[in-house]
Each structure stands twice: as C-alpha cells, then as structure tokens.
Structure 1
Amino acid sequence: MGGKRKLWLSMLCLLAAAVQGEDPYLYYTWNVTYGTISPLGVPQQGILINGQFPGPEINSTSNNNIVVNVFNNLDEPFLFTWHGIQHRKNSWQDGTPGTSCPIAPGTNYTYHFQVKDQIGTFFYYPSLGVHRAAGGFGGLRVFSRLLIPVPYADPEDEYWVLMGDWYTKSHNILRKFLDTGRSLGSPQGVLINGKTAKGDGSDEPLYTMIPGKTYKYRICNVGLKDALNFRIQGHSIKLVETEGSHVVQNVYDSLDVHVGQCFTVLVTADKDPKDYYMVASTRFTKYDLTAKALIRYTNSAGPASPELPPSPVGWAWSLNQFRSFRWNLTASAARPNPQGSYHYGQINITRTIKLANSVSRVQGLRYAINAVSHVDPETPLKLAEYYGVADKVFNYNTISDEPPFDLNSITKVPNVINATFRDFIEIIFENHGKTVQSYNLDGYSFFAVAIEPGRWSPEKRKNYNLLDAVSRHTIQVFPKSWAAIMLTFDNAGMWNLRSEHAENRYLGQQLYVSVLSPGRSLRDEYNLPDTQLLCGIVKDMPKPPPYSS
C-alpha cells in the first residue's frame, strides 16, 4: 500500500473518530524480525521491530486509542505487553500468557487499547520466554491533554533513556539454562538505548543540549535483573514524574531505578560548555557494570572527563530515596482510585494479602510466591474463565492470604487468586531472601505506602504514608524487608502480578489476580474482541453470550 493511500486512510479514520465523538486513534504497523546486533561488540541474535533496536517509540496523548498491528516474522510464538498501561476494562490487550494466545510465527495480531486517563513514561517489551533478553522493547510516552496544565514549563526537548543489564548469549541459550535448572548468572554489561560509549574519543553524542535550556529525560530500567543507578556527570536532576504520577519536584544527584521502573526528570544545561557522560551502573551486586553515553553542549569546547561520578553504596541509601518520593497533590492530571485519590488513607481495608518469595532446587530451579510456582497452562486463564471452563484449566486461590510456614516445599500449578470487584486491598510483599526484588501489577496503579526492614506486622501500619504516597505500578523490596501497597480492585479482568526479574518470573515467581464483574456488565468489562486469538481447549468452542450493557 502506498504512503499517500496510508495517509488518506488514516485521515479518514481520524475523521470518523471525530464524527463519532471518539478519542483520536494512532496506528502502528510493526514487523518483528531477528537481526544481528553487537551492543557490547559481540555479534548476537537480536529481536528487532521494523529493523530497530531498541524498538520504535509510541508517542501518544491521554485517552488516545492505540492500534498496533504486529507481524511475527520470528520462528517462535511472540507477545507484547504494555508495561504500566492500565487497559481499563480490557485485560484482553494486556499481552501476557494468562490473557492472550501467542502470535504464531508467520501471522499477525492487532492490539487495540486506550491510554485512558493516564500520563507519563512507560515502555513495552516481549512477554514470552526470555525474549526481553534479545530486545523487542521500546518507549511509550503519554502526554497530558492540552487542557490539563503540567506542573513545569515545557522543556526544550525530550530524550529517552532505556537502560538495562545485558547478556551476550542468545535468548534461546538463556532459556535453555533456565529449563535445565541453571541460573542466568551475571550479565556481561549494561546498555543505554542499546549501546554504551567506548570513551576513546570516537563516540558521537547521544543527545545535545543548548546552554541555558532545560530538557526532559524519560528513564526506564528495561533490563532483566539488576537495579541501576542513573546520573549525569556534573549535573543535578529534578524528578517530576514517576510511573504515571506527578511528584513533588525534589532534586537529586542520582536515582536508583529498579527493574521495570520509570522516572521522568528535568536537566538544565547550566554547566561549562563541554561534553558530559550520562552513566548507568549496577547496584546491590558483587559485580560492577557501567554504561555511559555522551551528552554534548551545542557550544562544547572540550571532551567529557574520564572520571565518572561514583554510585551510592548500600541499599539503605536507596530506601531513604524511596521515602523522599511524594505525590504532587496540587498538580492537575488524570488520577487513579475513584474512591478518592486524596483520601486513600481513610478507606477501610477489606483484605490483607501477604506475599513471600522463595526459591527451591528440589524440582530443578524454581521461584515461588507463597510456595506456589506459577506455570502457564496451554489455555490462557482469562479465556478459560470467559468460556466457563476455568475448572478444567486452573483452581482459584491455590495460595492463602498468609505465606505458609514452609516456603521451600514448592507446588507447580497455575497461580490465580480471586479479588472482589471494588474491594480496597492491602498487599504486603515480604522478601526473605538476600537480593532486591521488584514487583509489577498489570492493570492498576497502587499506593506505595511503605518499605521497611524486618518483618511486617499490623502495628507497622502506623508508619504508612497515608497522605501523599506515590501512585505507581512497580515497587522494590529490599533483602530481609517488606513493602506495603494499597489499591482498589476496580478494573475487571485477569491481571498479572509478577517479579520483574526475568529469571524469577520465567521460573514461577508470579501470579494472576482475577477481578470479575459481578453482573457480566459492559460497564465493568469489555467483551471478548472478535479478533482475539483462540487456543487450547476453547479454540473450537462456541463463543459465550456477550456481556450486556
């Protein structure tokens, strides 16, 4: 199809949307292929989108409808998940194995979702196997609508920082490691936007800045296992947004960004006119891996100093930084929690769920939550539930709301818990291990009210931030510590709560939360899309009656 014809069809679609009073549509066509990449100087197989590594940006505005037609040209099934996008009433588009059948090789599938009442910095990535280790990730930004003021002046420009640890082995080899009871081991390096500067004078600047101007940097940790510290040589950074929420604008020398987390910062070019390094380095590890990228002032008169600013030491520093994050209650923006964004601390908790992570080598290497190690059934959980055959695929509430005494005796089954629609729930993550954990909940933002060392008990609630905790979707849990989040389960669907560490997630450290619409009503949840892929035992079953309005 020619470019003019594509443009004409897009204009017709936008016109039709305007006539019908719908929010605008954005269309993308993505060809997913293998390609040779050498981000650390070692040729390896990568996953490219339209020939790009990292993949293309999705550039949207709050309430936009996003349509992404994905052609899978790999030799294996593939799925995308949209990290941090809430998919209101529409877990069909979440792109996890619990909600979607994989896109088979040589076929395509069209995602259609709305960034409803959201703003901020997000990203997408492949959700099957260990595909994320080969690429397939990219940035997804959601601007505020023009009528809603943003609590800072428009920057001169915006820049992405997609950083993460990196392995030079292929994703197939890494998957075989995990399938045969081996760990992924240590990564070989860290990347910023798919590469790292050599520092030998041959590097081209990743970004340029005009003296005196302020720039927005959208920072996400898209890696597999390691928290990273982000900093810019000689510059302070002002935090303005965290995972969809405007925050109190504190100034930092550096930021710890745990796996799956995103921050938006402002940086002003107010230093000597020269080059500077942007730095990302591993935290809480025995190895020390660093990536750097060159930033150049437009009137640069000299090279960047080879002396890099040091990263912080210890996780207590990172814990104190988390405590300094505060929600900006005076900013105008889309807000979660219809029961009262400003007053979540006054809502009665109807249920407390405690989740403890563990690892076992009794049945090969497996990770678990409350001693259950999740396995994905052939039939996606959401499809089994919608077609009324859930009892043939999984059992609800295999785990209880309290961790068992013995966390080492692990059961391998689909791990699904029920949540009552619109209940206000408290979730406690307990980390009994020696490494930092990072958890994400699809479909929701939650209030990250506390992280503390030791064990949780009810009296710990007196230390919660019940006034201005940041509403976000990913939270870290430090070793021998706990973290508490609070949220209203008001988004009907099947939602993945998972470790963001690829090895842990692949080997079972995840679960799904089933939030059912009590009346099977379109007010609460969309029907199964006509284009939805079917697989497993529902593949040839007649379609159930649709939800009613």
Structure 2
Amino acid sequence: MALNISAVGALCLCVIVSLFAITSAGDPYKFFEWNVTYGDISPLGVRQQGILINGQFPGPDINSVTNDNLIINVFNDLDEPFLLSWNGVLQRRNSYEDGVFGTTCPIPPGKNFTYTLQVKDQIGSFYYFPSLAFHKAAGAFGGIRILSRPLIPVPFPNPADDYTVLIGDWYKSNHKDLRNQLDSGKTLSSPDGILINGRGPNGASFNVVKGKTYRLRISNVGLQNSLNFRIQDHNMTLVEVEGTHTAQTTLTSLDVHVGQSYSVLVTADQADKDYYIVVSSRFTTPVLTTTGILHYSNSASKVSGSPPDGPTDVNFSLAQAFSIRTNLTASGPRPNPQGSYHYGEVNVSRTIILSNSQGNVNGKQRYAINSVSYVAPDTPLKLADHFKIEGVYRIGSIQDKPTGAAIQLDTSVLQTDYRAFIEIVFQNDEDVIQSYHLDGYSFFVVGLDGGQWTTDSRKKYNLQDAIPRCTTQVYPKSWTAIYVSLDNVGMWNLRSEFWARQYLGQQFYLRVYTTSTSFRDELPIPTNALLCGKASGRSLGNVIHA
C-alpha cells in the first residue's frame, strides 16, 4: 500500500529525510506502511492464528523497478518482537537493513521501524519473510518483483499478466506451539499440507485468456519440503532464477527447493476450461499434494480428470538442476550482457567446506555446520562491531573445514576478506536434501554431484554459464559447490532454509571484512537503528535510543 507522506508523523519524516541522504539521489522512491497483526486464518480448514500484514495473508506484493529506493514503515502490533528479512534482495553495502537478528534489533511490540532498501542493480523474483521466533510458520511473507528499467531489453515479450505464486508446506498448529516443541528439544512432525498463495486445495485461482502468455513468479516460502510445481496439460518455459535470465527451456514440471524463486512463462493454448495447478512434496513419505486452478476466461467446464503426477526420483531433480543455465545473450539490470563477467577465469583465493550434521546437545535436538550449532547472543553482531563491544562473538568460533568433532554451541562467525573470490563447498553427508541461502550475495552454482567432494571434483565444474542465485539445494549424500565474489561488506547470514534446522543452529554469519571506513565500501549505521542488548542506551549520532 502506498504511503501518503502527509499522514506520517514528524519523527518518521525526519527518519525518512535522513535515509534519503544515504541512498542514490537520482533514483525513484516508493513508500509503504505496513501493520503487522495477528488474525484468524484457516488455510487447511482448521482455524488458527496467523500473522497478517495490512490484514492480508500472505502479505502484499512489493512491485519495484531496478534501483528503486523502498521505504517500508513496519508497525509491530504483535505481542512479541518482530523482524522482516528480504530473501534475495542484496542490500549493497548495507547489512544493517538485512532484517535478521545478527544485524538488526527486533521491532518491540507496539513500536515501528522504517526499513530503507535499494534494489540496486537487480531484477527478478524474490520474497520477504519474518526471520524471528518461528513466525514464518504463521505467515507475514509476500512476493517481491523487481522489473527491468524501460530501456533495458528483456529476452521475452511482455506477458499479458504477472502473477506471484507462493507455495509452501504448512502446519495446522500455532507457531508458538511449534516453537515450544523445538525449544523443549523435540523435532517437528511432518507438515500437515501445502498452500498456494495461502490457500489449501483448489483455493488459489489464476485467470487467463486463451492465446495469451503469462509470467508466474514461483517462490517456495515453506518450512522444510522441496516442492514440484506443474499445470495440467500445459508446458512452462523457464526464463528467470533469482535475478538472472536463464537459457529458456521447456518444462512439464519444476522442482522448487525451500527458499528458491523461479519465473516461468505459461501460454493459455488449450481448450477453454479449467485446469489443475498441482504442487507436491519431493523426497517425502507420504507425498503431500495440493491443487489450484488455472481458469480460462471463457471456461466451458470445471477441472476434470486426475491431477498430473509429479516426478518420484532424485535423478529428475538432478537433471533439471544441471539444465538451468544463464542466458549469456540477455541483459541483466544493465544493458551489458549477463555473461560479460567471466567468473571461471578468476583465481580462487580460499576454499571453505561446510558440512551439516545433527545431534543431541544437553538432552536437546540441535543442528550444526562444521560441528558448531549457532546460538544467538542478546546483541546483534553488526552492532557489536559498530560499537566495538567485546564478548558478543569471537573470530574462529567456526572452522572453514569440517572437524568431525561433536556438536558444540557457539555464536559462530567466519571471517573473510573484502574483494576476495572464494569457493564454498556444501558437503551433505546426511540422507535428507538440504537447502542453503546466503544473504547479501548472488553466487555461481558451479557444480553438484553425489558422494564426497575432492579437488578432482573441480574438473566437472561449469565455468561458462552457471546460474547465479542466492539459494541452492544439496542432494542427499552429495555436494554442491559455489563461487562467490565477496564485493559486499557486512555481516551476512548463511543458513539452512529448513526452518527448524535454522532455528536450532544450522546457520552462521559470514563477516566480510575491511579496515576501510569509506562510505564507498559500506554505508553508515542508519540514524533510526534500533539498539538492544549491550548496545542499549548508546549514542547514535545526536540520538540516544532506549
């Protein structure tokens, strides 16, 4: 919802004016006012407490254009602290706005915070979500689309319409009950169902006109399950993955792993009737399935027949992952071709190998990376850096290779050098699929395969047209390798997108460090930054925060 500036109080105006000063003066601004509340929802036929934004479940879309400045004033009317994070929106030089507890203090109940985000040099499909306290299991997520500037060519004709499609697994239980289960040391049972745009079976409907083509922006906003997306009797053309135009391939179904976003084109080229949209879980027993409706404007009949079956083996997903490549002839957010960056010719300065594990610590279930299970301190790590507060975390709390040691609890931070070009290998020795996300970055997925990664595995890397993205899957008993150019100073969360695993420690922070204090390298702390923990009461410019 657009915000009328005249309706904002004097304090908010002062904050917004100060935010303008540190963003690009020539780029457009869009203003939003969001009220976060509880509300009754029943997506699976059972009444439960959801988290709404402006009364909506899911929350409103953010529609923007490359380089737009987004000013989002969030009022927290819940009974507990709240934070929003921006899955895939890079936040150049500004991890203070990332919206995870390692960088940002939560919004207290009854208070508000104004985020200032710039979708700098980005295009594509992303989403926002609540990052604290297992709130994601109650809602407060929504789609983000970043359109190309009008003069930048897009490698396909303008679609007749552009739809956000948020898919995800769902529990009927209240998010506080789920959180209490995890806090007590238990694991969660399997989810109860799958939602499409917050609705259960046949609840979501998308209108089309015969002969026209539509863009579907599909994001898996769920808690743990990889999902397969397909449409009865219709093909899809893959055109974009998390900000990168892809080589266009025809698909009958698409695996979307937790945290991932894709764009497909669908042409309404069948008879005038209704067709099933089907979403089903992958690599699970039993398989969860839900349906939506593709509705032709002159539909002569309702859906009929059986919903199309999805793939059942891992080989389909592997083959599809290998087939997703960058469209080297397409423009990105700028007019130069996406392929002009020859990442395969850059020397790697460091290799980091990350291995996930699970176990019991002090009688409770925990998850870990390189044997360290993350424990959040009471002070965001980024604020500890800014105010030079000792004792919040320590460098060396996590190693950059697996140790094989028993799981230990710590505030794990891995330091890296600004402007380094590094290789990260995700080694999954467990028999369940994993999904990892890195805030603040888009990385090249250069390789994946079964078994153990070795230096010989590099011979299989794609060093020409690997897809850049921010979330990647790692198959059971397999590895995935990525290349990352560390060009974004800050404290960035690297986490499992399996939300119970993230909550119980399968995450850490990548500290991209430089001794430079130039605003060219990193923007200053926002003048409206909330302060908490050991940073409470400290002076921030001419303002002291309680």
Query: Shorter-normalised TM-score: what interval?
Result: over 0.9
SS in 1 for 2:247: coil
Question: Deviation of residue 544 (structure 1)?
Answer: 8.3
**Equivalent residue runs for 1:406-417 within 5 Å:** 406=405, 409-417=406-414
Report the counterpart of residue 417 of structure 2 in structure 1.
Answer: 420
Contact residue 182 and residue 365 of structure 1 kept, 8 A? yes
The alignment status of 1:434 with 2:431, answered yes or no, reads yes
Report the counterpart of residue 512 of structure 2 in structure 1.
Answer: 515
Quote the Cα distance in structure 1 between the aligned partners of 2:4 and 2:485: 45
Report the counterpart of residue 483 of structure 2 in structure 1.
Answer: 486
- Letter matched to residue 40 of structure 1: L
Quote the Cα distance in structure 1 between the aligned partners of 2:301 and 2:183: 50
SS in 1 for 2:178: helix
Report the counterpart of residue 85 of structure 1 in structure 2.
Answer: 89
SS in 2 for 1:133: helix
- Letter matched to residue 305 of structure 1: S
Contact residue 3 and residue 31 of structure 2 kept, 8 A? no
SS in 1 for 2:515: coil
Q: Percent identity?
A: 53
Report the counterpart of residue 134 of structure 2 in structure 1.
Answer: 130
**Equivalent residue runs for 1:444-455 within 5 Å:** 444-455=441-452
Report the counterpart of residue 251 of structure 2 in structure 1.
Answer: 252
TM-score normalized by the length of structure 1: 0.93
Unaligned runs of 5+ in 1: none
Question: Deviation of residue 272 (structure 1)?
Answer: 1.1
Quote the Cα distance in structure 2 between the aligned partners of 1:219 and 1:543: 40
Question: Deviation of residue 401 (structure 1)?
Answer: 1.6
Contact residue 328 and residue 337 of structure 2 kept, 8 A? no
CA deviation map 1:119-140 (0-9, x unaligned): 0000000000110000000001
Report the counterpart of residue 53 of structure 1 in structure 2.
Answer: 57
Unaligned runs of 5+ in 2: none
SS in 2 for 1:161: strand
Quote the Cα distance in structure 2 between the aligned partners of 1:378 and 1:462: 44
SS in 2 for 1:250: strand
Contact residue 325 and residue 465 of structure 2 kept, 8 A? yes
Contact residue 275 and residue 304 of structure 1 kept, 8 A? yes
Report the counterpart of residue 354 of structure 1 in structure 2.
Answer: 353
Quote the Cα distance in structure 2 between the aligned partners of 1:263 and 1:141: 11
Report the counterpart of residue 322 of structure 2 in structure 1.
Answer: 323
Quote the Cα distance in structure 2 between the aligned partners of 1:495 and 1:30: 25
SS in 2 for 1:280: strand
Quote the Cα distance in structure 1 between the aligned partners of 2:259 and 2:3: 38
Note closer, same or farther for the CA distance 1:228–1:103 as it changes in structure 2 (3 Å cut): same
Residue of structure 1 aligned with 2:471, choices 448, 470, 474: 474
Residue of structure 2 aligned with 1:34, choices 33, 38, 42: 38
The alignment status of 1:243 with 2:247, answered yes or no, reads no
The alignment status of 1:301 with 2:305, answered yes or no, reads no
Quote the Cα distance in structure 1 between the aligned partners of 2:214 and 2:461: 34
- Letter matched to residue 196 of structure 1: G
Report the counterpart of residue 534 of structure 1 in structure 2.
Answer: 531
CA deviation map 1:376-427 (0-9, x unaligned): 10000000011112x3111112122210123xx1111111010100000000
Quote the Cα distance in structure 2 between the aligned partners of 1:339 and 1:166: 37
Contact residue 421 and residue 518 of structure 1 kept, 8 A? no
- Letter matched to residue 453 of structure 1: G
Quote the Cα distance in structure 2 between the aligned partners of 1:175 and 1:2: 34
Residue of structure 2 aligned with 1:71, choices 72, 75, 90: 75
- Letter matched to residue 125 of structure 1: F
Quote the Cα distance in structure 2 between the aligned partners of 1:59 and 1:312: 33
Deviates more, 1:371-380 or 1:288-297: 288-297
Quote the Cα distance in structure 2 between the aligned partners of 1:133 and 1:88: 29
Contact residue 238 and residue 265 of structure 2 kept, 8 A? yes
CA deviation map 1:289-334 (0-9, x unaligned): 1111111111111121240111101112101100000001110113
The count of corresponding residues between Structure 1 and Structure 2 is 532
Report the counterpart of residue 392 of structure 1 in structure 2.
Answer: 391
Question: Deviation of residue 473 (structure 1)?
Answer: 0.3
- Letter matched to residue 458 of structure 1: T
**Equivalent residue runs for 1:153-302 within 5 Å:** 153-198=157-202, 206-302=205-301
The alignment status of 1:373 with 2:373, answered yes or no, reads yes
Contact residue 278 and residue 290 of structure 2 kept, 8 A? yes
Residue of structure 2 aligned with 1:501, choices 493, 498, 503: 498
SS in 1 for 2:330: coil
Contact residue 170 and residue 191 of structure 2 kept, 8 A? yes
Quote the Cα distance in structure 1 between the aligned partners of 2:473 and 2:384: 32
Deviates more, 1:144-153 or 1:305-314: 305-314
CA deviation map 1:242-262 (0-9, x unaligned): 000000000000000000000
Quote the Cα distance in structure 2 between the aligned partners of 1:542 and 1:70: 23
Quote the Cα distance in structure 1 between the aligned partners of 2:447 and 2:288: 29
Quote the Cα distance in structure 2 between the aligned partners of 1:236 and 1:426: 36
- Letter matched to residue 102 of structure 1: P
CA deviation map 1:343-373 (0-9, x unaligned): 1001000000000000011421000000000
Report the counterpart of residue 382 of structure 1 in structure 2.
Answer: 382
Note closer, same or farther for the CA distance 1:92–1:366 as it changes in structure 2 (3 Å cut): same
Quote the Cα distance in structure 2 between the aligned partners of 1:446 and 1:309: 34
TM-score normalized by the length of structure 2: 0.94
- Letter matched to residue 368 of structure 1: A
Quote the Cα distance in structure 2 between the aligned partners of 1:339 and 1:276: 36
Quote the Cα distance in structure 2 between the aligned partners of 1:179 and 1:403: 26
Quote the Cα distance in structure 2 between the aligned partners of 1:333 and 1:211: 30
Question: Deviation of residue 515 (structure 1)?
Answer: 1.0
**CA RMSD after TM alignment:** 2.4
Quote the Cα distance in structure 2 between the aligned partners of 1:517 and 1:156: 47
Quote the Cα distance in structure 2 between the aligned partners of 1:336 and 1:285: 43
Quote the Cα distance in structure 1 between the aligned partners of 2:491 and 2:4: 39
Contact residue 34 and residue 47 of structure 1 kept, 8 A? yes
**Equivalent residue runs for 1:16-31 within 5 Å:** 21-31=25-35
- Letter matched to residue 112 of structure 1: T
Quote the Cα distance in structure 2 between the aligned partners of 1:193 and 1:21: 36
After TM superposition, the runs of 4+ consecutive aligned structure 1 residues lying more than 4 A away are: 1-7, 335-341
Contact residue 447 and residue 469 of structure 1 kept, 8 A? yes
Contact residue 53 and residue 194 of structure 1 kept, 8 A? yes
Question: Deviation of residue 541 (structure 1)?
Answer: 2.9
Note closer, same or farther for the CA distance 1:477–1:337 as it changes in structure 2 (3 Å cut): farther
